[in-house]
Homo-oligomer: A and B are copies of this chain.
Amino acid sequence: MTEVYRSAEIAAALANVDLTAAMEAAFLAYSSGRAVVPPVGELLFAEPPGEVHIKYGYVRGEPYYVIKVASGFYNHPALGLSSSNGLMLLFSQETGELKAVLLDEGLLTDHRTAAAGALAARYFAPPRVDAIGILGTGIQAELQLRYLAPVTACRRVLVYGRSEAAIASYQHRLADTNFSISGVPSTEDFGDCQLIVTTTPSAAPLLHSVSRGTHVTAVGSDTAGKQELDARLLAMADVVVVDSRAQSASRGEVFQAVRSGKLDMERVSEIGQVIAGERRGRQDAADISIVDLTGVATQDIAIARAVYERLTAAQPSSLT
């Protein structure tokens, strides 16, 4: 019997899931070679303009396989519609049955991405953080900060956005937290920030320099056309880490830096390799570290499984 869950139930279940642990396991599984992840399926639309991505796969030895559908129709917000949409399908590897339809409307992708950012900060941020720098003011900029709360004691936040209204909205949406959030007119004001998270879909670099000892998690660029970090930052970084070296060959910040000749792919590790202790992480408080996340299917598999197990554990049994 296939269970169907709506976004409100999924959001409630998510509150009781240790997502950072789930992402840690997801990156380990990805880098261990136990994951089977075919190329992303893509469906493009001209009128109205949009794109649909189908990501799917499984981890050998785990109970489920997962298919995720995520769509983006970029003119929709002007019509009062959501630009993004999506769902996840969770099937049994053992029986082939469709166990659950998670009608999350993109919520799970947003949260698994934010949890991966928090995990990156836990592994790579320096011990002392005077301020957190956030590039962008959208849903991902919001969630990244929420997920950072348990990872760092720092509560001073500098945010750079495309307008004062966008920054005011960001501050308003995070008013329930104990972060102290100030807008800055330029990313050059991030000099005090030893922990920076970039979350925009910018096509041109927005962050050109950082202080010694800074960690940057780059979340926004996940295609060949998006770039938030000046390639010189990757050239000067002591540690450059990605979620997937295979994906970074064609998308994200590392792709841009390698293409421009400023970074050698040999220097790039996977976060799963660092978690496993196979590759080195930050060695010194003065190191500059960069983690470039383009998003891998094992994250979707892990969050779908964690939420599903939470949803089914929470159900009162009809037999008791």
B-binding residues in A (CB < 8 A):
2, 4, 36, 38, 41-45, 47-48, 50, 52, 54, 56-58, 60, 65, 67, 69, 71-73, 76, 79, 81-83, 85, 87, 89, 91, 93-98, 101, 103
Which B residues touch A73, using CB under 8 A? 95-96
Q: Which residues of B contact A4 (CB under 8 A)?
A: 4, 101
A-B contacts besides A38-B43, A69-B98, 4 pairs, CB < 8 Å: A48-B93, A48-B94, A52-B65, A81-B97
Checking B54, B71, B96 against A54 with a beta-carbon cut-off of 8 angstroms, the contacting residue is: B54
Q: Is the CB of B81 within 8 A of A96?
A: yes
* Closest chain B residue to A94, Cβ basis: B48
Smallest distance from the beta carbon of A36 to chain B beta carbons, Å?
Answer: 7
Contacts of A44 in B (CB 8 A): 36
B contact residues around A69 at 8 Å (CB): 67, 89, 98
Q: Which residue of B lies closest to A1 (CB)?
A: B6
The A contact surface, by secondary structure, is strand
A76 touches B96 (CB 8 A): yes
What CA separation (Å) do A72 and B95 show in the bound complex? 10
Return chain B residues, CB-CB under 8 Å to A72: 96
User: Are the CB atoms of A2 and B103 closer together than 8 Å?
Assistant: yes
Closest residue of chain B to A87 (Cβ to Cβ) is B98
Report which of B47, B48, B54, B91 forms a contact with A56, defined as CB distance below 8 A.
B54
> In whole angstroms, how far apart are the Cα atoms of A96 and B101 in the complex?
18
Q: Is the CB of B58 within 8 A of A71?
A: no
Residues of B within 8 A of A50 (CB): 96
Cβ A43 vs Cβ B54 within 8 A: no
